[in-house]
Each structure stands twice: as C-alpha cells, then as structure tokens.
Structure 1
Amino acid sequence: MTKWHPDPGQLRRPVYISLADQFTAAIKSGRLAENDKLPPHRDLAYDLKISIQTVSKAYDMLARRGLVSGEVGRGTYVKAGGSVPQSPYIAERLANEIDLSIVTPVCTPFHLERMKDALHRLGDGLPPAAALSFRPNTTFPRHNEAAAAWLSMLGVETAPRNLLVTNGASSAFTIALLSAAGPGAILAAEEVCYHVIRPLADYLGIRVRPIVADADGMVPEALEEACRREEVRVVALQPNLANPTASLMSEGRRRAIAETARRHDVTIIENDVFGPLLSRRPRPIAALAPERTVYITSFSKVALPGLRIGYVAAPDHLAATIANRHLMANWMATPVMAEIATLWLSDGTMQALVDWQRNALDQRHRIVSAVLHGTAYRAHPEGLHLWLPLPPEHDEPAFVSQARVRGVAVAPSTPFSLSGAPAGAVRVSLGATEADELRAGLDILASLLRAAPDRSVLAP
C-alpha cells in the first residue's frame, strides 16, 4: 500500500472529480507508481469523510482515464503507463454543459453543406487512384502541387517532392519527431506547450527539456543556455497562436530562435496549424531557416474538423526519411480526404472557409471583450482560444472543478505543462459551441473570478 494519501483540504465540488484529479496528479508526478494499490473504497471514504459512492465514482473516472485497473477481491492498482498525461479536453460531455475545453473551429450547417457538396462532386468524378491505388507515389503528386501552392501563400517555398500528405497535424508531428530525433535524444519545447509533446516523447524514449517562454514565445537566451548545457537535437515550436498560451511570436524572436538553432545544429519542427487564420502573419521560421525546419500545417482547425489532412514540408536531408517513416507508420494519407482538400484548394473553397472562420471569430472575440472586460487574458482576434491566468487566490484545479459544477468545462494547464505542475491558468475555447452558450459560459467564468474561492468540502 502506498504512503501517499489524498488531501481532504484540497477536495472541491464535485468531490469525485476533485478526488480523481488528486490521484491523477499523484500518478503523473510519480508519487503513485505502477502497481501501487489504492486504498479500499470504505477506508478512503471514512478517512476523507465522504460517501463510498463518491470514492467509487472517483475510481471509475480513473479507470476511464486509463490510469488504474481493479479486480474484485484484489483491489484497485495503478496501471503500467499510468503516468501518461490526460487530454486537456473533457472525454464526456454532461447534459446541459457548456464545453469550452476543446479547440475547434466555429461550425454551422454551412460547413456540412460544403462537405456534402464536395462528396457529391467527388462521386461524379472520382479519380481511379483515390479508390484503387495502393502506391502513395502514384496517388499524391498532384495533391503535392496543390499543397505547395497553399504553403507558398503561407510564406513557405518548397518543392512538391519535399512535401508529404498526412492524416492531419498530429500524424505529421509524430512522423517529424520520429525522423529528427531518436531514442535518448533531447527535445526542447516551451514549458507550457502542445499537450501531445510530453506523452509522445515519453513513448519514443526522447528526453524533453522545458524552455522558459514569455508573451512572445520561447526565450532565445533560455534555448541558447539549454543548447550549451546539453546536445539538443530538436526544438518544437508553435509560433502562430500557440496552443494553449495564444502567443504570437514576433519575427525578431523567430530570427533569434533560428540563429540559435543554426549555431547548435538543431532541427526545428514548426507546427503551424493555426497560421492560415492570420490575415497578417510574420514569416514562418521555415522561411528563415529552411535548411533545418520541418514545417507542418493542416485544415481541421481552420476550415473543417472532419477534414483530417495535413502537410509536412521537409528540408532535402530529411525528406526521404520522413517519407519512409510515414510509410511504415501510416502507409499513406486517406486519398478521399486528400481529394477533397485538393478540390477546395483549386476552386477557392478552402480560402473561403478560412475567411468565413476569421469573420466568425471576430464576432466571438467581441463577446470575449464585452464579458471579460477588465480581466487579464491573452488572445488574438483571429484565434480559436484564449489563455486565462487565474488570480493568485484561485487554485487552478479548484477553479476548473467549480466551473464544471456551474456547467462550464475549460481546459486546465497541467496537460500542457512539461513539468506536470499547474501554471495557474486555463485555456478557453471560443469555437466549440454556439455564440449564446459562449457568452453564458464566459459570464460564469467571470463571476467565478470575481467571487472568493470556494474552500468548502461538499459531497456531490
């Protein structure tokens, strides 16, 4: 039996979620290790002065998160691999809950009609290769040409032969990391960054080093110091509307990062999934250091969630390796989705969807400005989310739980934190729900910020 024990003074409503969050943090931090046995339901309920049903619900939530397993007669144990961070978004939406936890573009029936129209058009003129080819190199050449033109509009000049079509940005990032860093290599990333980086690096045996960041993104001097201390092989960046901090890196900062990477022969992976939303964007790092930057973009965040297609542009020395890694892991992207993306790039629909999204986000940010007036938050008027630092008196897990009790789900900072420690902030999505629900959800968050923190321990 482990010596670690939940702190009753840290429990918040709903208690079962708060209790599950305490166990999750203990598992992620290593205070609870693989095969450690959790206290029996009745004993823990007695110690914490809560109901057995509350403990059971907390243990069930831990099991759904994949952190524990239980057997009748043996008890509940921490599973192997239980230290994997949880996703920032909620897995299950409760009835009447306003979900501001997952970053997705604003979508309306207009978007569904565009997809239906594309499928009808594709059905009338489906290229044989989209259904019959089993060879990526015979399926995607014309898609690569359309991708190269799109990337050129984004400021990245690359040859079609150095482009790869993938099933979205997550697939692209995995392949890029597999190609640029092997087991034992060191990856540098901002201390609060894209939530996939930590677990993916752990799976691949890659060591992660958090780098200090400010409102302009990664601090070049901190990266320089890390490169001097150790042999950093890769730096992962999201310079445009970073997830979750919503920062937009200036061109001067991008140049400084590129020069540091050049001095120390570091490969840069530039994740630009939000870049197309920016009507005025600084030059990509791939344009400043093309010889060492792997550039990634996709469409699910800027056009349509179901359009799971992404592009990877690689420098000459990595292009073949990335293509081979993708072949081993995925064989090839889904041809039908690639056909739709290429169709929309060629007939202007893609740009129209991006323009539509900018206009919709302008309206969403007007709501944010009105409701959160006087509140310190970080956002960009063309961004899909905002970063909301909490006042010092507000405990982050408690704030997230209190918001959930009030019917609003937001993303805590811990899944984004490379250290696993809370950053004292939450991410709020602006596109995942209807405008009136967004306003209502923001009203609730604003009222929680104005009120004194709820320190009571109440059963759900």
Structure 2
Amino acid sequence: MTLWQPDPALIRRPAYLSLADQFARAIHDGRLANGARLPTHRALADALKLSVQTVSRAYEELIRRGLVSGEIGRGSFVQTQRREPEPPYLPERPGEVIDLSILKPACETMHQGRLKQALAWLAEALPASSALSFRPNMVFPRHRAVAAEWLATCGLEASPQNVTLTNGATAGMTVALMSVAPPGSTVATEAIGHHTLVPLARYLGFHLEGLPIDDDGLIPEALDEACRLADIRAVFVQPSVINPTATLMGSVRRAQLAEVARRHDIAIIENDVLGPLVEDRAPPLAYFAPERTLYVTSFSKITVPGLRVGYLVAPDRYAAAVANRHLVSNWMATPMVAEIATKWVTDGTAMDLVRWQRDALRRRHEIASEALQGVAYRTCRDALHIWLQLPDDRSEEAFVAQARLRGVAIAPGASFRIAETPWKPAVRISLGSTTEGELQAGLGVVTKLLLGDPEHLLLAI
C-alpha cells in the first residue's frame, strides 16, 4: 500500500477524471514511484467516500494513459514507462465531454442520410468484380480513371496508371513511407507534424528528423542543410493547413522545397487530405516536382468520416514499389467503399459535400473568433482546427487536464512534436468534431481557463 493518498477536498466533477488527474500529478512529481501498488477499488472508494464505479473509471483512465497497469489477482501498479504512444485525441468519447480533441469534419444527420442512400444504391448496383474478385487490376481500372478526374480538382494531373486506391490517408502515407524509406534510412519532416509519424518510424525502422518551420511551413534551407549533413531519403510534408499549426504554404515555398528535393535527389511525400476543400491555395508540391512526389489525399475529412478511401499517386520511379508495398500491407482498398467514392465523384455528391463542409467550417471559424476574443491563435479559414499557443508560464499538461475537468477535451501540442528542440506549450482544438453549440461552449471554457487566474489551474490535480 502506498503512503500517498488523493485529497478528497480537491475532487471535482467529473469525479473519476479529477481523481485520475490527482494520481497522474503524483506519478509525475515522483510521489508515487514506478511499481507502487495502488489501493484496491473498494478501499479507495471507502476512504474518499466515492462509489466503487467512480474509482474503477479513474483507474481505467490511468490505464488508458499508460500510467498504471492492472494485474488480475494482484492489483493495480504504477507504470511510468509507457509501452505505446498515447494519441492526442480521446479513443472514446464520454457522454459528458465536449470533444474538441479529434480532427474530423463537421457532420449533420444529412451526412448519414447520404451514406445510407449510397449503400442502398450499392445493394442494387454492386458490380461482380467488386464483390468477387481478389485481383486489384480486375477491380480498379474504372476507379483509377475517376480518381484522375478528382485529382484534377486538387490541382494535380495524374495518369490513372499511377494511382493506387487506399483505405484512407493513413494507409496511403504508410505505403508511401515503406516505398521510399528502407529500414535504417532517414526521413525529414516538420518539427511539429503528423502525430502518427513517430510510431510509424519506430515500427518501420527509419529515423525521423524534425526540421524547423516558420509561418510558411518547412524551411527550405533547413531541409538543404539536413540533406548535406545526413543521408536523407525523403521529406514528409503537410503544406495545406492539415498540419498542427494550420499553416497554408505559399507557392514560392513549395517551389523552393521541390528544388531542394531535386538537388539532393530525395523523395517527397505530400499529405494533402483536405484536397479541394482549401480554396485559393497554391498547386500541390507534386505539381512542382511530379517526378519524385508521392501524393496522398482522401475523402474522410472532407465528405463524411465513414468514407474511408483515398488516392496515392506515385511517379513511375516508385510505382512498382508502391504496388508491392500496398499488396503486402493492405492487398487492396475495400472495393465496396471505392464504389461509393467513385459514384460520388461522378455524380457530383463529393464536391457538393466539400462545398457544404467549406461553408460549415467558415461559420465555425466565426464562432471561434467570437468565443476566443482576446486570445491569439493560428488558423486558416478552411482549416478543421486552430493552433493555440499557451503562455510560456502555463503547463500544457495542466491546461489540458483542467479543460477535461471542465468537460472539454483538447489535444496537447506535444503529441505533434517531432524535433527535440525547445518547446513552446500549445494545444490543437478541432472545430468540426461536435455541434456548433458545443463548440461555442467548449471554446468559452478554453477562454476562461486561458484568461483567468492561473492559480486555479493547480486545483484538482
């Protein structure tokens, strides 16, 4: 049994989360050492005058964070070494939490209705090849031709033969990385970048080099220097406001990065999942360096989350590698989902949903502007999120925890940290993940926490 005990006077609603945060702070401060045994659920509930269910939920939350392990028959123990990285978003959404942590498009019942209609159409029109074939080349020629039409709306001319249909952007970027970065090689990327890159690098065995960024994105001179000092095989970039800092890279910067990549003969992996959603943007990096850019886009963040299908465009030099890596990792995209994407592109539904999303996001940006008056943040009018940098004297961990205690989930900025450089605390806040009313209420909580008395950030932790 441990000597440290939570303080019942500091427990606030929701009690399980407040209790979990007290334990987390004690573990962080060293008051609970690695391997320390926690009280049983019943003993702690009796001591704090809480229900056993509340204590159980608190322990489950600590297990989810990777701070505690539960061993059947022995109890619960502090585990300070996390076995796997924790995602920046809530894996599940508790009913009492306004979830602004996960990056997703705005959705209404209309979106579910459109998908239901598409599934009803599919039940009548499903081709035999999509239902019965194991051969990608038997299923996808028609889909690749339609993909080329869609890619033109993204600003990219592509031959259907160079397009691979994927089960969304994550599958596309994984295949692209497998195709250009063998184990032991180095991939450059933004210092604040895609949260899955760090675990992907670990699993695939390549080294990740986070490079400095500015208000226009990845700095070309930094990429040039990195290529001169190390054996960089590829650079992974997110130039169009899907990056955590909501940066929209300009045409000149894209051309400069393409030139650096060409000079050092490295591949470019371009993650452009928002595609045509972002108006008035520069052409893709693939436009400036088509011979070396593997371009990734998808539909789930611009139409409806359930449409998990995307396109990976690879130049001829990487086409065979992409085809083989995709076969061994996915075999092929889910044909029935691809059928819906192709129908929506050809009948105009996909672009209609993109236009709807654009309008919805602009309304939500107006809500954010009003709710966050007096707060400086970074965004772009077609971004799905905002990037809010905290004052240097504010603890990012404490700020995120306090928001949770008040019923609002936001993503900690450190989840997107690639480079081990001096860190400025920040949070990412999704604008599309909930209703407009909940968004306004959640941003109101963030504003009060940010502009209020910093001392109350220490309560209940």
Structure 2 length as normaliser, TM-score? 0.88
1:389-417 residue CA offsets vs partner (Å, 9 max, x unmatched): 11223211111111111111110012111
Q: In structure 2, what is the equivalent of residue 454 of structure 1?
A: 455
The structure-2 alpha-carbon separation of the partners of 1:392 and 1:51, relative to structure 1 and needing over 3 Å to count, comes to farther
CA contact (8 A) 1:397 1:412 kept: yes
* Structure-2 residue corresponding to 1:426: 427
- For 1:41, the equivalent position in structure 2 comes to 38
For 1:227, the equivalent position in structure 2 comes to 227
Matches within 5 A, 1:206-217: 206-217=206-217
Structure-2 separation of matches of 1:343 and 1:16: 50
In structure 2, the partner of 1:298 is 298
Q: Distance in 2 between matches of 1:422 and 1:204?
A: 26
Change in CA separation of 1:183 and 1:157 when aligned onto 2, cut-off 3 Å: same
Check whether the contact 2:246–2:383 (CA below 8 A) recurs between aligned residues. Answer: yes
- Secondary structure in 2 matching 1:386: strand
The separation in 2 between residues aligned to 1:239 and 1:268, in whole angstroms, is 12
| Compared CA separation, residues 60 and 283, structure 1 to 2 (3 A) | same
Structure 1 residue 63: Cα displacement: 2.6
Distance 1:447 1:459, change over 3 A: closer
Q: Spell out, residue by residue over 1:402-441, the C-alpha distance to the aligned partner (whole angstroms, 9 max, x if none).
A: 1111111110012111247864110111111111111111
Question: Are 1:445 and 2:442 counterparts?
Answer: no
How far, CA to CA, are the matches of 1:231 and 1:454 in structure 2?
Answer: 48
Asked if 2 retains the 8 angstrom alpha-carbon contact of 1:12 and 1:18, the reply is: no
Mapping of 1:303-318 within 5 angstroms?
A: 303-318=303-318
SS of the residue corresponding to residue 296 of structure 1 reads strand
Contact 2:37–2:78 under 8 Å retained in 1: no
Asked if structure 1 preserves the Cα contact closer than 8 Å seen for 2:98 and 2:438, the reply is yes
- What is the letter of the counterpart of residue 429 of structure 2? V
1:162/1:313 contact within 8 Å kept: yes
Within 5 Å, give how 1:102-141 maps onto structure 2: 102-141=102-141
What is aligned with 2:159? 159
Aligned: 1:402 with 2:402: yes
| Structural RMSD (CA) | 2.9
Q: Partner residue of 1:18?
A: 21
The answer to whether the 8 A contact 1:38-1:75 is kept is no
Which residue matches 2:43? none
Seen in structure 2, the aligned counterparts of structure 1 residues 436 and 173 have a Cα distance that, compared at 3 Å, is same
CA contact (8 A) 1:15 1:458 kept: no
Between the aligned partners of 2:172 and 2:79, the Cα distance in structure 1 is: 32
Q: Quick one: which amino acid aligns to residue 291 of structure 1?
A: E
Contact in 2 for aligned 1:255/1:288 (Cα 8 Å): yes
Percentage identity across paired residues of the two chains: 49
Q: Which string of whole-angstrom CA distances, capped at 9 and with x for unpartnered residues, describes residues 49-70 of structure 1?
A: x979999866543433456534
Report the count of equivalent residues.
439
AA at the equivalent of 1:426: V
Cα shift at 1:360: 0.8
CA contact (8 A) 1:210 1:418 kept: yes
Q: Contact 1:18–1:398 at 8 Å: present in 2 too? A: no
The secondary structure found in structure 1 opposite 2:455 is: coil
Per-residue CA distance 1:166-208 (angstroms, 9 max, x = gap)? 0000011111111110111101111111101001101111111
Q: 1:301-332: CA deviations, max 9, x gaps?
A: 00000000010000101111111111111111
| DSSP 3-state at the match of 1:454 | helix
CA contact (8 A) 1:396 1:422 kept: no
Letter in 1 for 2:84: V
The one-letter amino acid of 1:178's match is M
- 1:314-329 mapped onto 2 (5 Å cutoff): 314-329=314-329
Instruction: State whether residues 368 and 439 of structure 1, in contact with CA within 8 Å, keep that contact through their aligned partners in structure 2.
Output: yes
| More displaced 10-residue stretch of structure 1: 335-344 or 96-105 | 96-105
Instruction: Supply the AA of the counterpart residue of 1:18.
Output: D
Matching of residues 258-277 of structure 1 within 5 Å:
258-277=258-277
**AA of the residue aligned to 1:166:** T
Question: Could you list the runs of 5+ residues in structure 1 that have no partner in the other structure?
Answer: 27-31, 44-49
Moved more, 215-224 or 299-308: 215-224
Matching residue's letter, 2:112: L
Summarize the Cα distance change of 1:449–1:190 in structure 2 as closer, same or farther, 3 Å threshold. same
